[in-house]
Amino acid sequence: MQPIIKKIDVRSILTKSNIPVTDYAVNPYIGCTHACKYCYACFMKKFTGHTEDWGTFLDVKFWKPVKNPKLYTGRKFFMSSVTDPYNPQEEIYKRTREFLETFQGVDINLSLQTKSDLILRDLDLIKTFKNVRVGFSINTLDENFRADMDNAVSIRRRLDAMKILHAEGIRTTCFISPIFPGITDVTAIIDAAKNFCNLVWLENLNLRGNFKPKILKYVRAKFPELRPLYDEIYYQKNPRYWFELHKIVEDYAAKNNLEYVRNRDDFQRDFDAPPVIVNFFFHEQIKKISGGAAVE
């Protein structure tokens, strides 16, 4: 089924952001045809008026020219917060490339986050930014599971693109998110990416909104042996699993001489190879855990 594509005019491509890592969010599209089944951005439908299922529509933004890009010197930009800047349709509409061309030569701090190797098309432009980082979202090495969860390119293609960018001197991030308990092999993914990324982010699967029952139904059907674990995490609200995984990653990092941090502010540091692993398991301060497990 082909997605519903619509062109829309907007006043600006820049949105002031309250996300700690950035000053501005840059979303050249509304919607995302990668159609990730766990995508938190589906909440956007509340504000855009779309009634279609998330992943089946894409609004292509056309904005007024930025009058003086140099006014944004030193600012941080994140591309993108509620879409992928390299949806397959970017090959046709080139909205992300237009943004890059507009800010070429301006000393901004730019982070690009994607699931697509289409980003390699813009390598010539990306290399002209002095402060730039490219992140790839990877939460499995199993292509069958990947295909069940999203319509993006294969994991192999994502890793190959990361390797090319890293070889060109671009700082790269492997964003292992969302981590599906009992399914995502975190250390195997780090093994696959650690030689060509500067940073590894870890984030747990947070189930909310209307995709929670869909994800749980999928897990129960495909991984019935994991039902007790998912019930413990997502119904009983017991975070024991995340503390145990934290220990596994901590031990892995020590054995592989990698720095492993658990500080929400550490992702703002300027990392160099070998990669630093940053843990985002604990989005809230945890005071006590049932069963006598470790506490925050």
Closest CA to 171 of 122, 123, 202, 134: 134
The C-alpha angle 25, 26, 27, rounded to 5 degrees, equals 115
Whole-number Å distance between alpha carbons of 295 and 101: 48
Q: Which residue has the higher pLDDT, 291 or 75?
A: 75
Residue range 99-125: mean pLDDT, rounded: 97
Q: Are strands 24-26 and 14-16 parallel, antiparallel or unpaired?
A: antiparallel
Q: Please check whether residue 3 is in contact with residue 56, taking contact to mean a CB–CB distance below 8 angstroms.
A: yes
Closest CA to 232 of 163, 144, 291: 291
- With 60 as the cut, is the pLDDT of residue 288 above it? no
| Stated pTM of the model | 0.89
Structural tokens at position 245: 């995984």
Whole-number Å distance between alpha carbons of 72 and 51: 36
Q: Please check whether residue 232 is in contact with residue 213, taking contact to mean a CB–CB distance below 8 angstroms.
A: no
Residue range 224-243: mean pLDDT, rounded: 95
Structural domains of the chain sorted by starting position, each given as residue range(s) with its CATH number in brackets: 4-279 (3.80.30)
Range from 97-111, 113-127, 131-145, 265-279 carrying the lowest mean pLDDT: 265-279
- What is the structure's pLDDT at 263? 58
Structural tokens at position 164: 């090319």
- What is the structure's pLDDT at 292? 31
* pLDDT tens digits for range 148-198: 999 999 999 999 999 999 999 999 999 999 999 999 999 999 999 999 999
Residue type, 138: I
* DSSP string covering the chain: ---EEEEEEES-SEEE--STT-SEEE-SEES-TT--TT-GGGGGHHHH---SPTTSEEEEEEEPPPS-GGGGTT-EEEE-SSS-TT-TTHHHH-HHHHHHHHHTTS--EEEEEES-GGGGGGHHHHTT-SEEEEEEE---S-HHHHHHH--S--HHHHHHHHHHHHHTT-EEEEEEEEE-TTT--HHHHHHHHGGG-SEEEEEE----GGGHHHHHHHHHHH-GGGHHHHHHHHTS--THHHHHHHHHHHHHHHHTT-EEE--TTGGGS---SSPEEEE---SS-----TTS----
| Local confidence band at 92 (pLDDT 50, 70, 90 cut-offs) | very high
User: Up-side HSE of residue 131: CA atoms within 13 Å toward CB?
Assistant: 14
CA distances from 185 to 19, 158, 188 (A): 28, 17, 5
Structural tokens at position 204: 């747990």
Q: Please check whether residue 120 is in contact with residue 163, taking contact to mean a CB–CB distance below 8 angstroms.
A: no
Give the position of tokens 């890293």: 166
- With 60 as the cut, is the pLDDT of residue 289 above it? no
- What is the structure's pLDDT at 189? 98
